[in-house]
Amino acid sequence: ATNQTFTMIKPDAVQDNHIGAITQMIEAGGFRIVALKKTKLTSERAGQFYEVHKERPFYEGLVNYMSSGPIVAMILEKENAVADFRKLIGATNPAQAEEGTIRKKFAKSVEANAVHGSDSDENAQIEGDFFFAADERF
């Protein structure tokens, strides 16, 4: 297992000025920020990023939403990063997210759920590579 995971702060949370508060929770949770950028996905790039969900009924809405405004992408490092980060962000559906999690605090809906977190070491690697070159990681 690697010690890295990948996250995005999603368009609603960026729009609502929560970049600082979310990044604060991430660092306070023991993660180091290896790479970070604010960028905007085209619908084509968002479609590629979420390609695994292509057959799902929510795919088109998700792609439109994720390309609707800027996002903040980060590679994070910590022992047991993937699992620990999923604990920190809470359940995908904010109605089920536990108290103290990022989604409990900032998510508005299943779609506009404030942050993304990789679900496996393999996807963490793929997703980090999607946004960051080697010379953007420290």
Residues comprising the binding site? 10, 58, 86, 92, 103, 113
Q: Which of 113, 114, 124, 132 binds ligand CMP (CB under 6 A)?
A: 113
- Kindly give the pairing relationship between strand 32-39 and strand 115-117: unpaired
Please count the CA atoms within 13 angstroms of the CA of 19 that sit on its side-chain side: 13
Among 13, 14, 46, 62, binds ligand CMP (CB under 6 A): 62
Reported as half-sphere exposure (CB side, CA atoms, 13 A), residue 83 has a value of 4
Continuous segment of H or E residues that includes residue 12: helix 11-15
When asked if residue 25 is in the footprint of ligand CMP (CB under 6 A), the reply is no
Using the rule CB under 6 A, is 103 a contact of ligand CMP?
no
Per CB under 6 A, does 92 bind ligand CMP?
yes
CA distances from 91 to 17, 38, 67, 130, 132 (A): 22, 24, 22, 24, 26
User: Which one of 78, 85, 116, 124 is in contact with ligand CMP (CB under 6 A)?
Assistant: 116
| Beta strands 4-9; 71-77: pairing state | antiparallel
Catalytic residue among 116, 124, 128, 131: 116
Nearest alpha carbon to residue 2 among 81, 64, 69:
81
- Considering the complex, what minimum distance in angstroms separates the CB of residue 116 from ligand CMP? 3
Query: Does residue number 13 form part of the binding site for ligand CMP (CB under 6 A)?
Result: no
Applying CB under 6 A, among 15, 44, 58, 96 the residue interacting with ligand CMP is 58
- List active site positions: 116
Binding residues for ligand CMP, rule: CB under 6 A, are 53, 58, 62, 92, 110-111, 113, 116-117
